[in-house]
Amino acid sequence: MGNASAEVQRFARHVTRTNDEDGFAYAVDAFILGQPPFARTKLGLPPRTRACLFGLDGVLAQTSSLHARAWKQVCDYYLRRRARASGQPFIPFDLVRDTCHYFDGKPPLEGLHAFLDARGIALPESTVHALNDRKAEFLVELLRQEQVETYEGTVGYVQAVRAAGLRTAVVSASRHCAELLQSAGILDLFDARLGATQPPEVYLAAARALGVGSEEAVVFEDTPAGVAAARAAHFAYVIGVDRLGRPAELRRHGADLVVTDPADLLEQDGTLH
């Protein structure tokens, strides 16, 4: 099977790379597909890569605290009004616990539903959407007051990718993707910017916007759900960016490789270990 078609190779990698350990995938690459294991360029990417797709939140920029504070503002606003109307005590949104349990790694509306369910609150869908819209307004207000901090290693890696002639896109579940990038000062580093769309559709849309197929694009994601979505969309290579010390979880959801920062890819030789 050394001359297996590209389609066979792509699906073989999709199946084998979902294992926790790399050993079986290594064997498939080396002995079944007849190619060097994990051959890659100086950027740490497969040779056929033409584009890189980066998640905004957690990969490029440190936006989680801004989102958490915006959620706290809108949830406390609603909970305080509800407490006054019902005569029940006001229990505020816990910035750390509630954000971690209900919002991290989830689409905004899904997180909001999870939080309301945990509080035993059932609302019409129109009201849930209105609260989500209000959260977006709070976020914009915060962006007017503060600058979004970036992960400098990732920014440097994006610059290296562009210098090598590859195309770049950034994706986010937020409808304010462009504003967040502008605040961070990195708006001009991307050929395409897609927000307010959920994975895996957002990755596929980003690839189309760059004029490449999924087999020619590499996805950088920091959440297990994002990694799983990119893997389900059959992208050529999925790199998990481990900001929270959970490399095994990212691998279990389908990451081909896990790094603490994309800049690490520039410090290795031509073969992944």
44 and 174 in a single domain? The answer is yes
Counting beta carbons within 10 angstroms of the beta carbon of residue 122, is it exposed (0 to 12), middle (13 to 18) or buried (19 or more)?
exposed
| Domain hosting residue 132, numbered range | 64-145
Domain stop point among 93, 110, 145: 145
pLDDT at position 28 over 60: no
Rounded (10°) CA dihedral 106, 103, 243, 261: 50
d(CA 135, CA 175): 11
State the average pLDDT over residues 21-48. Answer: 58
Rounded (10°) CA dihedral 25, 31, 33, 34: 130
Q: Which segment, 12-26, 116-130, 230-244, is predicted with the most confidence on average?
A: 116-130
Domain stop point among 112, 145, 178: 145
Residue 45 falls inside a structural domain = yes
Q: What percent of the chain has pLDDT over 70?
A: 82
| Strand 257-259 to 217-221 pairing | unpaired
Residue 206 falls inside a structural domain = yes
111 and 165 in a single domain? The answer is no
pLDDT at position 170 over 50: yes
Residue 46 falls inside a structural domain = yes
209 and 108 in a single domain? The answer is no
105 and 162 in a single domain? The answer is no
175 and 253 in a single domain? The answer is yes
Give how many domains the chain has, as a whole number: 2
Residue 219 falls inside a structural domain = yes
Q: In terms of pTM, does the model score above 0.85?
A: no
Residue 224 falls inside a structural domain = yes
164 and 45 in a single domain? The answer is yes
- 27 vs 72, more confident: 72
Longest dimension (CA), the chain: 72
- 24 vs 86, more confident: 86
155 and 219 in a single domain? The answer is yes
Q: What percent of the chain has pLDDT over 90?
A: 60
158 and 252 in a single domain? The answer is yes
pLDDT at position 139 over 50: yes
- Closest listed residue to residue 60, CA positions, set 262, 264, 265: 262
* pLDDT tens, position by position, 47-84: 999 999 999 988 999 888 899 999 999 999 999 999 99
CATH number at residue 48: 3.40.50.1000
Residue 135 falls inside a structural domain = yes
Residue 13 falls inside a structural domain = no
Which secondary-structure segment (H or E) carries 220? strand 217-221
167 and 202 in a single domain? The answer is yes
Domain stop point among 102, 129, 145: 145
Tokens describing residue 207: 């690839």
Count of residues for the chain? 273
Residue 14 falls inside a structural domain = no
174 and 184 in a single domain? The answer is yes
Written as one string, the DSSP assignment of 222-254 is SSHHHHHHHHHTT-SEEEEE-SSS-HHHHHHTT
Q: In whole numbers, what is the pLDDT of the chain averaged over residues?
A: 84
195 and 230 in a single domain? The answer is yes
54 and 89 in a single domain? The answer is no
